[in-house]
Structure 1
Amino acid sequence: MSNSPSDPQVTRPVLARILIALSTIGLVIGILRLEVLFVILSSSILVVGVISHNIFTGFVRPIRKERNPTSNFTPHRWASEKGCTVARFERWADEPAPLIIAIHGWQSDSSSTEKRISPFLERGHHAVLIDLPGHGASDGLAIWTAVECGRNILEMIQDIVKVWDWTQITSVVLLGHSMGGFVSLRFADRFSEVLPQPIERVYLESPMTSFPMVFNQRTTGLGLIGRYISRLDLQWAYLRRGPDPELNWSHFSVPKWGIPSMEIRILQAKEDIALGHHHLELLQPHASDNWEIVIDKDLKHFGSSRGNAHSTYLRWIDH
């Protein structure tokens, strides 16, 4: 890919920065005046400010890994009207076949997706792998949100479907892993509406289903100290810089977040060290008769331990 991805200046946590500034001033004053209690109080507030700042930054700016799929995939870059570039990697079979569109998880990239979709490649599918904004070869965002990511991908799909040869595409499926599953939950129907052929099935692997739940999971232990300040900062930043200020905290969990109307297959890691089972449990009450959920005791959320995923996907593909 010819151009390197760019990252705009990250949105700053206003409240945390105010706490850090005021507590630093207080700490200096306390030391100069030899007031022990003032030093202790200022130090405590400084710790809260620093932890809150780190929590905030960890949610709005993913750590990028610049890796690409193998040379079997052709890289492409697409730019939105706002100039944000989204990267995708395409592999087209030599004959008519189904198409899989796949989206990776948080702080991952399409190189991991290539391994994940190997059963589909084995069955001869065309494949389009998408790097989420701020990941892989895609440009970053000032404040990372799944809403803006999904909208950028939707806008890209609207453009690129015009150049795909639909005489060679027999059907379309969508696969999302973890955060990619979260994006897929909200945008699967929107993606389907702009495609010449609707998405027949959505595959979700260990999907995230609630941002508030992830936030609480990531702010335990020492992080609990900064939970409330960082949450206020996130909500304030979203109101200032987010793509849809009308959405509130509760809209970032299913069912309000969105659930696809087409049939769904869910493959869940039993020992999910990243998300646990709570995300699946939040989604299960909304399952329809055309869903199937498989919990794999040997599948891992990250890494190369795929358990029985390969055979499970092959069974689903063939039926």
Structure 2
Amino acid sequence: MDRRKATWDGYAILILALTTLLISVLVPYGYFSVFFSVLIIIYQVLLRIIFTGPSKRSAPFSDKEWNLVRSNNDGIDIYGFINYQDEPSDMVVFIHGWQSSSEKYTERMQIFRDRGFHTMAVDMRGHGMAPNALEWTAGKVIQDIKIILEEVDQELVKKIHFYGHSLGGFICIGMHHHRHSGWWKDNYGTLILESPMVAYSKILEQMSNRISFMLPLLKLWAVRGFNKIHPELGGELQWKDIDIPHWGSPKVPILLLQAENDTKLGRFHYDLLLKQELDIEAYLVQSLPHSRNRVNQERDEIIVKWIESRMI
């Protein structure tokens, strides 16, 4: 069951407001309580912003060549879409970006399907067919993906490759942290990252642009919130742990496809990724936008070359 752990629900905030009103009326100098209540509400609003899910959805996946796969994580439905070849082969798993969905990957999945790969796409919480999350974190998405991967017919899969776009790249990288394990990690092939996000700290800085003076507090609150939402971490998560390399450090061959003019994330994440001691083959793709990129001839030709040289 999805429950709030770091933020209050509307009922709790209402109780606070009513209690404050009563104190301010019935208790001498009780109006001072209004000040503290306002601070608490501001704190809760900012936490809600940090852990809120997407404000809009892309269309859900609907291609009949891929079958719906469904699993469950503590009462929350997880949805994926899978197409098997007739014989055992490698599989490519696609993880989409923020406010996107598996449907956006249809044409890219077809590239791999046409070359004999099993293909699978997973909808993140709050995206596509997946239900909303009261408190959205990348850690929850990673757990969802690990669970739905158990629905895969492992006897048909030789190696498993991952393809992550934008936030999906951040998810794929995070799965390489030592705390995550599974059959998929033992059979890992290559990783394809398209205009990836690799550092959450930069995103929070951008979110707090208008209140940058509060950034130190926001960092503190974010880390506390992450640890409350993910008690399995034992309260040990630190600020550095939400950026590469502490977030995850893939020790596999990586194809990096970066939009040369990335109007969403810029070059910060690309440059940071290249500073890591990783096996990366990187391309700045001039014609590739960050979004609206379902089909791009320049990128797709690079993908085909990667398949032929590193995956087959």
**Residue of 250, 255, 272 corresponding to 2:240:** 250
DSSP 3-state at the match of 2:192: strand
Q: Is the 8 Å Cα contact of residues 7 and 139 (structure 1) preserved in structure 2?
A: no
**Residue matched to 1:309:** 299
Query: Could you list the per-position Cα deviations for residues 11-52 of structure 1 after superposition, in whole angstroms to 9, with x for gaps in the alignment?
Result: 5379xx79x97xx99xxxxxxxxxxxxxxxx9xxx89x76x7
DSSP 3-state at the match of 2:135: coil
Root mean square deviation of aligned Cα: 3.5
How many matched pairs? Answer: 286
**Residue matched to 1:216:** 205
Query: Does residue 12 of the first structure (1) align with residue 7 of the second (2)?
Result: yes
**Residue of 189, 203, 206 corresponding to 2:192:** 203
**Residue matched to 2:224:** 236
Q: Is the 8 Å Cα contact of residues 53 and 230 (structure 1) preserved in structure 2?
A: no
Mapping for residues 239-318 of structure 1, pairs under 5 Å: 239-243=227-231, 244=233, 245-288=235-278, 290-304=279-293, 306-307=295-296, 308-318=298-308
The answer to which of 57-66 and 137-146 deviates more is 57-66
Q: Is the 8 Å Cα contact of residues 300 and 306 (structure 1) preserved in structure 2?
A: no
Identity %: 24
Q: 1:241 to 1:171 in 2, by over 3 A?
A: closer
**Residue of 118, 121, 128 corresponding to 1:126:** 118
**Residue matched to 1:110:** 102
**Residue matched to 2:63:** 70
**Residue of 156, 172, 186 corresponding to 2:160:** 172
Distance 2:290 2:109 in 1: 15
Query: Does residue 142 of the first structure (1) align with residue 137 of the second (2)?
Result: no
Query: Could you list the per-position Cα deviations for residues 151-204 of structure 1 after superposition, in whole angstroms to 9, with x for gaps in the alignment?
Result: 2321332x324xx162x4343211111111111112147777413961110111
**Residue matched to 1:33:** none
What TM-score, normalized to structure 2? 0.78
Query: Could you list the per-position Cα deviations for residues 80-116 of structure 1 after superposition, in whole angstroms to 9, with x for gaps in the alignment?
Result: 2x22221100112234432111111112111112234
Q: 1:192 to 1:113 in 2, by over 3 A?
A: farther
Query: Could you list the per-position Cα deviations for residues 195-220 of structure 1 after superposition, in whole angstroms to 9, with x for gaps in the alignment?
Result: 39611101111111111111112322
Q: Is the 8 Å Cα contact of residues 192 and 198 (structure 1) preserved in structure 2?
A: no
Query: Could you list the per-position Cα deviations for residues 204-257 of structure 1 after superposition, in whole angstroms to 9, with x for gaps in the alignment?
Result: 11111111111112322x353664554444333323323423111110001111
DSSP 3-state at the match of 2:275: helix
**Residue matched to 2:92:** 100
Q: Is the 8 Å Cα contact of residues 95 and 165 (structure 2) preserved in structure 1?
A: yes
DSSP 3-state at the match of 1:294: strand
**Residue matched to 2:169:** 181
Q: Is the 8 Å Cα contact of residues 188 and 202 (structure 1) preserved in structure 2?
A: no
Distance 1:171 1:238 in 2: 32
Distance 2:62 2:50 in 1: 25
Distance 2:44 2:264 in 1: 22
Distance 2:282 2:305 in 1: 13
Specify every segment of 5 or more residues in structure 2 that has no aligned partner in the other structure, as ranges.
22-34
Query: Does residue 61 of the first structure (1) align with residue 49 of the second (2)?
Result: no
Distance 2:268 2:146 in 1: 28
User: Structure 2: which amino acid aligns with 1:154?
Assistant: K
Q: 1:75 to 1:263 in 2, by over 3 A?
A: same
What TM-score, normalized to structure 1? 0.76
Q: Is the 8 Å Cα contact of residues 53 and 135 (structure 2) preserved in structure 1?
A: no
**Residue matched to 2:31:** none
User: Structure 1: which amino acid aligns with 2:189?
Assistant: E
DSSP 3-state at the match of 1:195: helix
Q: Is the 8 Å Cα contact of residues 159 and 188 (structure 2) preserved in structure 1?
A: yes
Distance 1:248 1:285 in 2: 21
Distance 1:185 1:200 in 2: 14
Q: Is the 8 Å Cα contact of residues 69 and 114 (structure 1) preserved in structure 2?
A: no
Q: 1:261 to 1:303 in 2, by over 3 A?
A: same
Distance 2:121 2:110 in 1: 12
DSSP 3-state at the match of 1:76: strand
Distance 2:64 2:47 in 1: 36
Q: Is the 8 Å Cα contact of residues 175 and 204 (structure 1) preserved in structure 2?
A: yes
Q: 1:192 to 1:297 in 2, by over 3 A?
A: farther
Specify every segment of 5 or more residues in structure 1 that has no aligned partner in the other structure, as ranges.
1-5, 26-41
Distance 2:53 2:167 in 1: 12
Q: 1:113 to 1:226 in 2, by over 3 A?
A: farther
